[in-house]
Structures are given as structure tokens and as C-alpha cells.
Structure 1
Amino acid sequence: MILVTGAGGLLGKKLVKVFDDDVVGVYYKSKPETSRYLSLDLSSLNIKAIEDLSPDVIIHAAALTDVDKCEKDPGLARLLNVDVTREISKVAERINAYLVYISTDYVFDGKRGNYREDDEASPINVYGLTKFEGEKEVMRFSSNYLIVRTSTPYGSNPASGKDNFALWLLRKLKNGEKVRIVSDQVTSPTLNTNFALMLKECVEKKVKGIIHLAGASPLSRYDFSVLLARTFNLDEGLISPASSSEMNWIAKRPMNSSLNVEKAMMLENKPLKIEDALKTLKKEIEENENSEII
């Protein structure tokens, strides 16, 4: 049995889908699309229900990922991203489960980009710091683990009651609204379907240590937005470049937190180039009868 925390989130929804019948989705507010699920408030740190299920694999995808909210409420960020991870790591060790922890490119300071798995982490905001501390809790308490870092996930499905960046942008462009997007911050945008398939393969092969599972094309949010508009035949002229210094962000962002994915290229399900990822996104949205995007 595979247990996925954060099963109603952007990554969690795809993970429970690719693992199909062999999965239990753990959620708090956003119900997952799986036949077996467990409603649990992880912030209580009472996770005996997970231990009682005794899964073979625990994929810990639940986290506070709102970067500015983490900055405003570091206590909550520490509770959800560090303390919860510690307790899950302890449970995984007690029941001899293989633990997969979903981390982020924001553990790096963003001064150079193309970060490898063994590069030194140096987070510059509370979100990155608490996720890195979560990594350390996994390594401290679990002897059978995989730490997976990803970057700027997006997908065809709304999650936790809101659109991801790609869906937000598509709605804006479809409505003819002008948008200003930062052009000086580089990441490795990751289609959640590609991520889920890569992670499934890692679980099946029991890959251990740290691996970067992200898109194969580092680019700015502005360049990503222009390619997205072109893929969906929308007006890219509605998109204007902006500097990150113009944004009303509370937390600092790494300027180039792109991830090196050479290690993941050894998988059968390889990291997708941005053009292929966006074609897959378009196909998924077209096949979704309930989609209002196109």
C-alpha cells in the first residue's frame, strides 16, 4: 500500500491517479480523487492513523507552499513543513516504510542556477528554510528514504480550490486581460503529470538519497508564459515583462533556482522539455470535458 499526504494538492492529485488502486490519499480540506482516503489534520501532530494503516510507502507531499504566507507566519511554516515531517519520518521508520519527501528548488539561494543534488543548500526565505529543515528531519529519522526536489509545478487540474499559475494565466489570456509577468526569475517549470510518472518509477525502483524531478527547460516565468500562450493560440501580446523588484512580494525569491535533472534522465519517464510538456498540458485540458479554459 502507498500512502500520499497532501493528496488533494497539485502534485498529490496526480500521484494518487498514477498509483491508482494501490493508494490511500490523506487530506485535510481538499478531498482527493481516490477510492480510499483518510481525512487527517497533520498539524495536530497526531498521526497514529497513518501508523495504524502501516503502508509500505509514504509519499509526504503535504506542505505549506505559499511562500509569502510562510514569511508572514514562520511558526505555522515550521509546524507544517518541519514538525509534521519529523513525525512522519519517525512513523515511517517504526513501520519500516519507504519514505518519499517532496522538497523544492527554493532550498537554494538562486545565485547561479542549474543546481545538482549534492550542491549546498542555502535558502533565502522561510519557505525554503523550512523545507530544507524538513529534508534534514527525513535524513535524521529515516533510514529508507528519497528526497525529491521539484520546481514551479503546474498542471491541467485546479487543486486545493484554486488554479495553478498555468491555469490562472490561461484564464486571463482567454478573457483578453493584460498581465505583467516577471522576466528575471528563472526556475524549472514542472508539469505535474510528468512529475508523477517520474516519481512512480522512482518508487518502483526504490531509488534512495536525493533526486531532482523537474522540467528539463530552465526559463523565466515570462518566457514560460509566452510559450504557454503560443501553445494555446492565445494573444501573447497581452503579456508584458516585469522585474521581480516591482512585485509586492513579502518574501525574497531566488533569482535562478533551476534544477539540474541529469540524474533523472536515467529514468524511462524522463524530464520533459517545455515544448513537449505544454503539448501534454494542452491535450489534458482538451480531454477534460469540464474544463472552461478552451
Structure 2
Amino acid sequence: MRIVVTGAGGLLGKKIVKVFSNYEVIGVYYSSKPETPNFLQLNLSDLKEIKKIGDLSPDVIIHAAALTDVDKCEKQPELARLLNVEVTKEIAKLSKETDSFLVYVSTDYVFDGEKGNYREDDKPNPINVYGRTKLEGEEMVKKYADKYLIVRTSTPYGSNPASGKDNFALWLLKKLKNREEIGVVTDQITSPTLNTNFALMLRESVERKLEGILHLTDASQISRFEFAITLAKVFGLSESLIKPVTSDLMRWLAKRPKNSSLNVSMASAILSQKPMTVEKALKLLKEEVESGG
């Protein structure tokens, strides 16, 4: 099975290519080089370049590349639309032309956050440009791809920086190890997801050719503040450095959903690789950080 992964140098992409290493994997990237022997550097924003993915004759395309900076999407909606909608449209059309199975990585931000614990069949209602463009990407997949799986995830984190940036967990660790006080919001609830477990759940989903929409997050639905406190406990760092704040004090350009947590009962029921509790996931993160993996 030949698998092409876009965004292969990113937070999720790096783990995806790693867990699929027993297959023929080709990592597509723009600036952050993937950790795979076979790779292809492409500027996906040049839509004509996308046809080069088809030249690879993929059996599976995992489309993980996106503009995920929520505030940058708000500031540059045309760029967000190009990268999250138009690129996805071309990849979806390409998957049909090459008779390949398409996996599209989407987000909890397709929901408005008014109720949380969203199921796969709940009606999306995004409240920012990022969420709207990712939802439009989902619609492109449904319209143009023949065989597809849309996977939604939430607040991914891991032991690897991506594109030179720390994810939320690594940012917390750096601050706490330097004994710096940090303010973390108490009123934004998500389903934080360790990229390793996401990738393992994704591998099983691809191997079984599951189709439709599937929420692939870890099992805990908690605030960023609760996540930070749990991380401090697992790593043996000072919880007193973590100060509760509310989101109205944050200088965010884009609105954030208050509770975009995802229900993972379907994944828990059908997958052998189960969603993890936040405690279990953070213990695995600790092992990875300490082993350099």
C-alpha cells in the first residue's frame, strides 16, 4: 500500500508517517521536512502542483496539510480559503481520478461550542474563519471524492515541535521548567489529543478502510487549565505556577468555541486502538519527551 501524506512535517504529519512506516509512505511538505525516506516538496498553494501527487499513484492520500493558525485565518481569510478549501477540493478530485482512498483531517472548530460533546452527526456551525474553511473542506471531500474518511480531532499536542513552533503541551513544559507563572484559560473546553494516539487510531481506520466521518480525539473533555494542571502533576512540576484566567482576557483575534469537545463513543466502540484518558496520554508524552521520541 502506497500512502501519500500532505503536511508530513507538521505536528500530526510527523507521527502519521512514523506509524505507517511499515508501508510505502511518501511525505509531502512545503517547509518542514518530514522524517521519512521518501518525500516530495510541494507548494500546495500553487494548485497546478497538486497533480504531482497523482503522479505518485497513491492507494491512500492522507490530507493533513492546512492553515491551522486560527488568528492568521481570521486576518487572512483569502489565504485560509485557498489552503483549506481550494487545495482540499483539488486533492479530493485527484483522489477520484487516481481511485485512491482519501483521509481528510478536520477539526472540532467546525462546531460553535455552545453544547460540547459533539457527535459525528451533529450539525456543524463554525464561528471563525478557520472553522468555516475546514467545514468547507469537508464539503469538498464529500462532493468530489469517491472513497473517503473525514476525521475530526481537537487540540493536538505531542513531543515534537512542528514548523519551529511548540504545541500547547511543549509550551507549558518549557514555562513550568523555567519556573515561569502562566495564565491558562478555564472557560475553553476541548478534547486534547496526543498526536501518537491519533496517528495509531488513524492507521487502524485506514487499514480497515472506514468511511464517513469519525471523531479521533482522546477521551477526556477538559479545560485548558485542567489540562495544564494534569500535565504539571504527571511531570512533577509546580502546579502553583499555573494561574486561572478567562478567555476574555486573551488577545485573540478570532472567536474560540467555548466547548468544542468531541464525543468519541464511536471510535471507542469500533477501534482496537482506543481513545486515551488525558492522564494516560500525558504519561506516554512524558516517556516520549524523556526518550527524545
Cα distance between partner residues in 2 of 1:235 and 1:53: 50
How many percent of aligned residue pairs carry the same amino acid?
Answer: 66
Cα distance between partner residues in 1 of 2:110 and 2:172: 26
Deviation at 1:161, TM superposition (A): 1.1
Deviation at 1:191, TM superposition (A): 0.2
Alignment match, 1:36: 38
Cα distance between partner residues in 2 of 1:237 and 1:17: 36
Alignment match, 1:18: 19
RMSD: 0.7
Amino acid at match of 2:145: S
Cα distance between partner residues in 2 of 1:168 and 1:23: 30
Structure 2: segments with no counterpart, 5+ residues: none
Deviation at 1:18, TM superposition (A): 0.4
Alignment match, 1:248: 251
SS at 1:43 equivalent = coil
String of CA shifts for 1:67-97, please: whole Å, max 9, x gaps.
Answer: 0000000000000000000000000000000
Deviation at 1:54, TM superposition (A): 1.2
The reply to whether residue 192 of structure 1 matches residue 191 of structure 2 is: no
String of CA shifts for 1:196-223, please: whole Å, max 9, x gaps.
Answer: 0000000000000000000100000000
Alignment match, 2:60: 57
Cα distance between partner residues in 2 of 1:211 and 1:205: 13
Give the ranges of 4+ consecutive aligned residues of structure 1 lying more than 6 Å apart after TM superposition.
none
Cα distance between partner residues in 2 of 1:160 and 1:236: 29
Alignment match, 1:292: none
String of CA shifts for 1:89-145, please: whole Å, max 9, x gaps.
Answer: 000000000000000000000000000000000000000000000000000001100
1:243-282 to 2 correspondence within 5 Å? 243-265=246-268, 266-282=270-286
Amino acid at match of 2:7: G
String of CA shifts for 1:211-250, please: whole Å, max 9, x gaps.
Answer: 0000100000000000001110000100001000000000
Amino acid at match of 1:30: S
Cα distance between partner residues in 2 of 1:285 and 1:44: 36
Alignment match, 1:285: 289
Deviation at 1:48, TM superposition (A): 1.6
Alignment match, 2:147: 144
Cα distance between partner residues in 2 of 1:37 and 1:135: 26
- Out of 79, 88, 92, the position equivalent to 1:89 is 92
TM-score, length basis structure 2:
0.98
Structure 1 range deviating more: 20-29 or 61-70: 20-29
The reply to whether residue 116 of structure 1 matches residue 119 of structure 2 is: yes
The reply to whether residue 209 of structure 1 matches residue 212 of structure 2 is: yes
- Out of 12, 27, 31, the position equivalent to 2:29 is 27
SS at 1:53 equivalent = coil
